[in-house]
Structure 1
Amino acid sequence: MRVEIWSDINCPWCYIGKARFERALEGFPHRAEVEVVHRSFELDPGAPHRPRPVVPLIAAKYGMGLEQAEAAEQRIADNAQAEGLAYLRAGRDAANSFDMHRLLHFAAEHGRQAVLLDLLYRANFAEEASAFAPKRLVELAVEAGLDGAEAARVLADREAYADAVREDEATASAMGATGVPFFVFDRRLGVSGAQPAETFTAALEQAWESRTVLPLVGVGGTDGAACGPDGCEVPQR
């Protein structure tokens, strides 16, 4: 069985949702027979490549003051830390993620995609240094077990793996995805948002038990937190 996960490195709910899904997968009896594939989704394809502080971006997206935006970030941090994830409560930045997605496709060809994805999430959400500079991306690629010179060449060539990123995004659009994380089980069953681990367990079981060609259906309702073109859902007090 194949599970495809559309996500963006800029999306905190993708970071959290991945941890919740993996917790469900760890307890799934057929875990060894599940292939997980990570797909590209840019929340803001037009975002500048120069990193910008996250808190003012949140304030602008939601029309709130800086103090409210800081509180929103802290609530997301609480959700992340409840899953055992490190998360900076202040000082993060964001930028265009297209190069990260291209690098992830390069890593997939070498069997290091999952490792690099974890490193990118860690660098973006848990480390003070920006994760978006080409030099830092090469360092993370090397840490993931990739050749640094090859990674640098990929980043320098703006068209390298660009078609693969766009194909992922076109597929997500064809499936009706407007935000991430978006989980698809054997192209038959879809789960939107960072649902609780129990919802992912139910989806794994349902997909496994009904392995026939069926239309894509949703599981878990629409209450899973997600990020979309207008921003990331903010947990309420």
Structure 2
Amino acid sequence: MRVEIWSDIVCPWCYVGKARFEKALDAFPHRDAVEVVYRSFELDPGRAKGDVQPLLRTLTKKYGLTKAQVHANEDNLGAQAAAEGLGYRTRDRDHGSTFDMHRLLHLAKEQGRQGELMRLLFQANFAEERSLFGDDERLVELAVAAGLDADRAREVLADPDAYADDVRADEREAAELGANGVPFFVLDRAYGVSGAQPVEVFTRALEQAWGNRSPIELSQQDDASV
């Protein structure tokens, strides 16, 4: 069985949703027969690589929120992440383009290291002090930590066309499937789960997909992402 997960590295609900899905998957009796593939989705497509800003500024501008509202939302997200055993810095994070990260994830997919690179990118963005944006060598370090070759990672980052078509293809497919937000989970192209749902929802989806029973209704989450 194949599970495809559309997500973005700057999406906090993708970070939390990944942890919840993995808890369900770890307890699934057929875990070893499930292939998990991460698909590209940019919450801010077309953003210039050099456009790196404090997250607070991005959220107040994009959603018209006050500083207090942003901090309250981040505190809530921090609590949700902590409940899943995840680190989460609620203040002073940066925000920028994730296009290069998605290109590296396609490289990692070819080498069977996609899941590990996704984990490291999420951790770096949400839990670590050093910014993930505007520094190719930072991305190279994470790629190497995930098991990729440093020179090959640098080659990809230096060539803006490398894996660009793969990223855009993923994003077009998300639109065709009706996904206008992330995280979006598709199980065997028959069952869909939208949002960082509780572990029980993912468990039920896995069981239904495996048993080829009636499709579940699409579960929606109202929380806004970045």
**How far 1:183 sits from its partner (Å)?**
0.1
- Tell whether 2:91 aligns with 1:90: yes
SS in 2 for 1:146: coil
- Tell whether 2:33 aligns with 1:33: yes
Give the match for residue 235 of structure 1.
none
- Tell whether 2:195 aligns with 1:223: no
User: What is the percent sequence identity of the aligned residues?
Assistant: 58
TM-score, with length taken from structure 1: 0.90
Correspondences of 1:1-237 after superposition (within 5 Å): 1-49=1-49, 50-132=51-133, 133-210=135-212, 219=217, 221-223=219-221, 225=223, 227=225, 231=226
Which residue identity is paired with 2:74?
Answer: E
Q: Distance in 2 between matches of 1:96 and 1:210?
A: 39
Which residue identity is paired with 2:30?
Answer: H
**How far 1:56 sits from its partner (Å)?**
1.8
Paired residues of 2:192 and 2:218 also in contact (CA < 8 A): no
**How far 1:60 sits from its partner (Å)?**
1.8
Greater alpha carbon shift after TM alignment, 103-112 vs 48-57: 48-57
TM-superposition CA deviations, 1:31-86 (whole Å, max 9, x none) = 11111001000111122323211112112222222122112111111111111000
Greater alpha carbon shift after TM alignment, 7-16 vs 50-59: 50-59
Greater alpha carbon shift after TM alignment, 21-30 vs 217-226: 217-226
Greater alpha carbon shift after TM alignment, 148-157 vs 126-135: 126-135
TM-superposition CA deviations, 1:103-155 (whole Å, max 9, x none) = 00001111111111100001100111111221100011111111101100000
Which residue identity is paired with 1:27?
Answer: A
**How far 1:220 sits from its partner (Å)?**
5.5
Q: Distance in 1 between matches of 2:219 and 2:149?
A: 42
Paired residues of 1:15 and 1:121 also in contact (CA < 8 A): yes
Q: Distance in 2 between matches of 1:85 and 1:54?
A: 19
Q: Distance in 2 between matches of 1:223 and 1:8?
A: 16
Q: Distance in 2 between matches of 1:56 and 1:170?
A: 29
TM-score, with length taken from structure 2: 0.95
Paired residues of 1:194 and 1:226 also in contact (CA < 8 A): no
| Alpha-carbon RMSD | 1.5
Q: Would the alpha carbon gap of residues 220 and 176 (structure 1) be closer, same or farther in structure 2, given more than 3 Å must change?
A: closer
Q: Distance in 2 between matches of 1:103 and 1:17?
A: 21
Which residue identity is paired with 2:147?
Answer: G
**How far 1:221 sits from its partner (Å)?**
2.8
Paired residues of 1:199 and 1:220 also in contact (CA < 8 A): no
Q: Distance in 2 between matches of 1:165 and 1:220?
A: 24
List structure 1 segments (4+ residues) > 6 angstroms apart after TM superposition.
Answer: none
TM-superposition CA deviations, 1:160-200 (whole Å, max 9, x none) = 00111111111111101000000000000100000000000
